[in-house]
Amino acid sequence: MFLGSRHFPLSLRMHRRGGRVSQRVGPFPDLREASLAVNVSLMITCLGDAMYPTVGSETVRVLTALGCAVDFPARQTCCGQAAFNSGYRDDARRSAKALMEAFADSEYVVSVSGSCTAMIRRHYPLLFAGSPLEKQARSLAERTFEFSEFLVNVLGVHDLPVVYERRATFHHSCHTRRLLGIVDAPESLLGMFEGLDYVPLPRPEDCCGFGGTFAVKMAPISAAIVDEKVDHVLETGADLLIGLDMSCLMNIGGRLRRRGSGVATKHLAQVLGEGWRE
C-alpha cells in the first residue's frame, strides 16, 4: 500500500512496527537496508495528516532518494501550536509533552510545516523553562528541522535530478521566514530544478492572512490580507504557487479559486517528488 492515499490520513494507513514505521514508497530506491548515516523521523503535522497526506508521502520519497532512512513515529500528535497561540499554555504543554515522547529516540525530526517547526524550536524551551522537562524540550528543538532547511543545511544538497517545466512563484510563510530565518534554502532548491521558470513573488515578507485561529477570529482582516497576497501571485503570471506550509497554501489557494484563478498550489516536497527523475 502506498503512502498518501487521498482517502485516508497518512498515519491511519501506514504499516506499524513497534509504534514506528519505515516503508518504501514510489519509484525511488529502497535504501533502508544499506548502512546509512542519517536517520530521519517524519513529523506529518495535523493538517498534513488529515488533509494533505501526499505531502508526507512525497517527503518520504525525496528523503529516501537522498539516502535517508525514514521512519514514522505513530504516537505523534499535535505540536500544541493552536492552543499556545490562543493562550492555553497548559493545554499546549500536554500536547508538547506527548510529541516529545513520540520523538524521544529520533536522530533527526523533519517537519513539512515551518510553523510547527518554529513552535518546537522557539516555544518548547520556553514552555518548559525551569521544569524537569526543559532538557527534553531543548533536545527536541535542536533535532527538529523544516524540510527545505534539512535538505540544504543538514544533507548539504547542491544538485537535484528534478525536471519541472512550469512557471512558478514561491510563498515565504511568516513563521518559516521570521521565526526560523529560512529564506535562502527553498529558493536554492528551486534553482536546482531543470525547466522551472521561477518568478519571485512581490513583497515576499507579507503574511497570507491565515494565522490559524486569526483567520477565524478576524475573518474580514484575514480576507483583506489574503486578497493582497493573491494580487501579488497573479502579478507574477505564474501558474503554480509553491510553499512550505500547507496552511498558508490552503488559505491562498482557496482565495485564488474564489476569484476564478487556475493557479495551483503545492508544497515544495510535492514538486520535488513529482519532478524527480529515476
Domain boundaries, given as residue ranges, for the chain? 10-154, 167-275
Of 34-38, 78-82, 192-196, 271-275, give the lowest mean pLDDT range: 34-38
Of 1-5, 131-135, 259-263, give the lowest mean pLDDT range: 1-5
Of 36-40, 77-81, 152-156, give the lowest mean pLDDT range: 36-40
Q: What percent of the chain has pLDDT over 90?
A: 69
Per-residue model confidence (pLDDT) at position 152: 96
Q: What percent of the chain has pLDDT over 70?
A: 85
Spatial contact of 194 and 164, defined as CB atoms under 8 Å apart = yes
Report the CATH number of the 167-275 domain: 3.40.50
- Checking if the pLDDT of 187 tops 90, the result is yes
Per-residue model confidence (pLDDT) at position 14: 39
Per-residue model confidence (pLDDT) at position 5: 31
Of 23-37, 125-139, 177-191, give the lowest mean pLDDT range: 23-37
Residue with the bigger pLDDT between 42 and 35: it is: 42
Per-residue model confidence (pLDDT) at position 37: 66
Mean pLDDT of the chain: 85
Tell me the mean pLDDT in the region 208-228.
77
For the entire predicted model, the pTM comes to 0.84
Per-residue model confidence (pLDDT) at position 278: 67
